[in-house]
Amino acid sequence: MIDLSINDDVAHVVLNAPDKLNALDEAAIVELDLAYQTAERAGVRALVLSGEGRAFCAGRNIAGVDPRTDDVLGYLGDLVTPLLQRMSRFPAPTFAAAHGACLGVGLGLLIATDVVYVADTAKIGSPFANLGATLDSGGHALFVERLGAHRTLDLIYSGRLMSGVEAVAGGLFSQVFPAAELTDLTVQAATRAASGATQAFLASKALVQALRDERLGLWQSMSDETAAQAALCATGDYREGFAAFQEKRKPSFTGRA
């Protein structure tokens, strides 16, 4: 159910089980992890994640799951969390195009992606109270950080789903587009990034993740930025960028260290 294609240094990973709203069982999580490993080995310079059909990803596929014997620790702890960590560490800019339902693990996939574009028709929230379950896959951290505690608990208690427009207005994701244009615009953004200064992008990615995960202060962040800039001085893209500026031409970046 996971498709992977690579063109012009851009990998495109597609969740392709539209009859299940791209809900992910254990086998699909493993397959998705392998797709990211394959894209990484191929040395792509950008990656796009999207979903086929009416939804991006409706979360975990619980069809046939017996709640009395459900190994939720194995599913979330041993499969989902390592996948999201791999996605977050992917050594190139990553983009997601999300439409329809983006719930549970599906929301986690977006949290683990660098840039998220959503359709105006997207549905984002925590409808799990009806299952006697709670939001997982990083959803609490995202909502509290961007929306605050009160709005987070309002969404959880009510089960109300935000639209893509509301999610972007609330600072959850990057931009909102009409559903019919979403994937094309996301691929275009990834293609532009793939021709950019990959090592500089990765330096910023690491800085942003450290600020988010380690709650660094201003001065520590500035120190880390200085170290990153010094390291970039040794890259070919740094030299090419300066040369192109001085020669008043468009740079031609290779993305290599």
User: Residues 185-194: pLDDT tens digits?
Assistant: 999 999 999 9
CATH 3.90.226.10 in the chain: give the residue spans.
Answer: 2-214
Give per-residue pLDDT as tens, 9-35: 999 999 999 999 999 999 999 999 999
Give buried/exposed letters for 205-241 (b at 16+ CB in 10 A, else e).
Answer: bebeeeeeeeeeeeeeeeebeeebeeebeebebbeeb
The distance from CA 196 to its chain's CA centroid, rounded to whole angstroms, is: 19
Count of alpha carbons within 13 angstroms of residue 199, beta-carbon side: 19
Provide the terminal-to-terminal Cα distance of the chain, rounded to the nearest Å.
34
Torsion sign, CA atoms 71, 76, 80, 86 = negative
CA distance 252 to 213: 33
- Domain at 2-214, CATH class: alpha beta
Each residue's pLDDT tens digit in the chain (257 positions)? 899 999 999 999 999 999 999 999 999 999 999 999 999 999 999 999 999 999 999 998 988 888 888 888 899 999 999 999 999 999 999 999 999 999 999 999 999 999 999 999 999 998 887 778 888 899 999 999 999 999 999 999 999 999 999 999 999 999 999 999 999 999 999 999 999 999 999 999 999 999 888 888 878 888 888 888 888 888 988 888 888 888 989 898 998 87
pTM: predicted TM-score of the whole model, two decimal places: 0.92
